[in-house]
Structure 1
Amino acid sequence: MNPLEDLQYFLALARNGSLSAAGTDLQVSHTTVSRHVRTLEKYVGYRLFDKGPAGWNLTDEGLRLLERAERIEHEALAAFAGRDNTAGTVRVATTEGFGTHILAPLSAQIRRADPSIEIELMMTSRTPSVSARDFDIAITLQPPMNPNIDTVRLTPYRLGLFASIPYLDRHGTPPDLDSLRAHDFVWYVQSLLDMSELDFRELGIPDEQKVVRCTTSLGQLAAVRAGAGVGVLPLFMVGQAGDLRPVLSASVMVERTYWLVTSPHSSRRANVRVVASAIVHHVSASNKRFLTCDVAPSRPTAERASSPPLRHPFRLSE
């Protein structure tokens, strides 16, 4: 019996929450993981996991052992510092826009620098739970409530109103805030939106003007490009797009912040630290991309006779 060997199976199950996922991480069968965990439980004399509807959950004794096991793992990694420390999979939970435009290209750079690191990008419109074990790093729009969780403020980023050139040719470019009452908007499906930061309530857009709704920012970008209406889009997603024009960029600008959160179950792993550091440095080096846009501004035009009738009046926050 070698309890140190059993600890790696214990850690894998604690981090993954399922025998099959732990086996995949360790490249063994789920029965092998189960056997080693049962052996460790016999050795320590108490249960380490309880089986729940969502997977295997640590008992109170298991949580205490987890802290000690991670310290042992950390010391072992430090003792054998070298390239092999970073081998393994790093799971990153992120919003779709940031994941597609920032992390997907960056993952290729990380892999070229260290092929032993594998990266899983889990793109979502929901806020990941920092107590869950289904991610190692999360890119969020708000910091966690727990001040003891490793958190880095990545960057503020700005969003503006954009529309396609054909749409503006048909409906005219709004010259002021009040003229937005005559335009259609592309928006989120609010009943399915988990992140309040993406609700943009401060813009005061009436629901009846949100004629196309998408659950993802990439869907909104595609709809705006197709001429479905005006959309609120992150500047870094628009980039140098020649088919879009900013609308009232001097009057309407929304700012949010990206945060990098490291799971407490993964923060000591060398590959997680490497990926987190790469994200922080990349975002810092390209900070201007999140705050400015190179797209040429649209020129305001008078309302055309064919424009839709005015709807319920509203005013955006200036």
Structure 2
Amino acid sequence: MDWDKLRIFHAVAEAGSFTHAGEKLNLSQSAVSRQISALEENLRVSLFHRHARGLILTEQGETLNRTVREMFSKLSLTQAFLSESKSKAAGQIKITTTTGFGLCWLTPRLHRFLELHPDIEVTLLVEDDELDLGMREADVAIRMHPPKQPDLIQRHLTNFPMPIYSSRAYLEEHGTPNDLASLARHQLIGFSGWHPPLPNVNWLVELASQTLHTTLRNRIEINNLPAVASAIASGVGIGSLPLYIANSYPNLVQIMKDQPLPIVEAYFVYPEELRTSKRISVFRDFLLAEISNDQKT
């Protein structure tokens, strides 16, 4: 099989159309279509179902794409190793983490990491869906729970508490709750979404419901924790936030300080094959140093 045709096939499979793949590869739609037709003719199988809304891989196409994706993953890893010096951290590092941690904690600190390591280039993927490190969708992840994949190396970074917050304006208008039972008289703000970034993200409304033996509901739910923090800070209501997000919103007021709080466990995660990578180790050390500095202040 011709490598160029496989490269184009993979681009089409990921993009779902000849047109989008052509834009990515800087080729015309007709040139991409010809290459796919030639590959199908060589293999004597159909790789795509063609319809008006785009392309869908056939069973044979799925099989081929899995193999090609693994080939690209291994080539990417090899390229990284070849460009990296054992004594000096260099090359690219692709980081994935949750929206809240990425926006509120990591992004404001990245300039210090880049100053320390001028030969490293960073790609930061900020989203609450977990990427597959084994398939090299990212090099490292900062996750708010222990990893479930057995083939990943994990390093516990720290624990973040999840205090309860409101704004001064809200408290002046509605009063300050002193316990879980009194939350029934207040507007609660929580998280909504299919992929919660934290395992205990809505603990406050759930625990208050158990205490009152009734079902409380969040008055507002948002599928983005920084947006939840913004709503609380602007006076909409009361909610719980991990400390790494709350520290970015100076208008927040912590309340119910005697209430026992859940914690968020932060982990640094990466594949086994990157165990000896210099750029991975210096980024891990940077995270630990930043966390240590936070705890001193």
Measured against the shorter chain, the TM-score band is: 0.5 to 0.7
Paired position in structure 2 for 1:228:
236
Q: Tell me, yes or no, if structure 1 residue 152 matches structure 2 residue 155.
A: yes
Contact 2:206 2:216 in 1 (8 A): no
What SS does the corresponding residue of 1:150 show, helix, strand or coil?
A: strand
Quick one: which of 199, 203, 208 aligns to 1:200?
A: 203
Q: Tell me, yes or no, if structure 1 residue 245 matches structure 2 residue 253.
A: yes
Q: Which amino acid aligns with 2:256?
A: L
Paired position in structure 1 for 2:212:
none
Quick one: which of 68, 81, 86 aligns to 2:91?
A: 86
Q: Tell me, yes or no, if structure 1 residue 169 matches structure 2 residue 177.
A: no
CA distance in 2, matches of 1:227, 1:238: 14
Pair 1:231–1:46, CA change in 2 (3 A): same
Pair 1:38–1:76, CA change in 2 (3 A): farther
Pair 1:115–1:73, CA change in 2 (3 A): closer
Give the Å deviation of 1:168: 1.4
Paired position in structure 2 for 1:286:
290
Aligned CA-pair RMSD? 4.9
| Equivalent residues in 2 for 1:100-179, closer than 5 Å | 100-112=103-115, 113-114=117-118, 117-124=121-128, 126-130=129-133, 134-179=137-182
Contact 2:104 2:226 in 1 (8 A): no
CA distance in 1, matches of 2:33, 2:121: 26
- Matched positions, count: 278
Contact 2:204 2:240 in 1 (8 A): no
What SS does the corresponding residue of 2:245 show, helix, strand or coil?
A: helix
Q: Which amino acid aligns with 1:194?
A: H
What SS does the corresponding residue of 1:173 show, helix, strand or coil?
A: coil
CA distance in 2, matches of 1:231, 1:130: 32
CA distance in 1, matches of 2:56, 2:90: 28
Q: Which amino acid aligns with 1:218?
A: P
Contact 2:190 2:221 in 1 (8 A): yes
What SS does the corresponding residue of 1:259 show, helix, strand or coil?
A: strand
Q: Which amino acid aligns with 1:156?
A: N
Which structure 2 residue ranges, 5 or more long, are not aligned? Answer: 210-214
Contact 1:183 1:209 in 2 (8 A): no
CA distance in 1, matches of 2:294, 2:227: 20
Q: Which amino acid aligns with 1:186?
A: I
Give the Å deviation of 1:229: 1.1
Give the Å deviation of 1:252: 3.3
Q: Which amino acid aligns with 2:100?
A: G
Give the Å deviation of 1:121: 2.6
| Equivalent residues in 2 for 1:23-62, closer than 5 Å | none
Contact 1:188 1:214 in 2 (8 A): yes
Which structure 1 residue ranges, 5 or more long, are not aligned? Answer: 295-318
Give the Å deviation of 1:247: 1.1
Paired position in structure 2 for 1:312:
none
Paired position in structure 2 for 1:255:
263
CA distance in 1, matches of 2:263, 2:103: 20
What SS does the corresponding residue of 2:106 show, helix, strand or coil?
A: helix
CA distance in 1, matches of 2:7, 2:97: 27
Contact 1:107 1:119 in 2 (8 A): no
Give the Å deviation of 1:205: 3.5
CA distance in 1, matches of 2:20, 2:154: 26
Contact 2:141 2:268 in 1 (8 A): yes
Give the Å deviation of 1:211: 1.1
1:32-87 CA-to-partner distances (Å, cap 9, x unmatched) read: 9999999999xxx989xx66999889977886788788777766765664479505
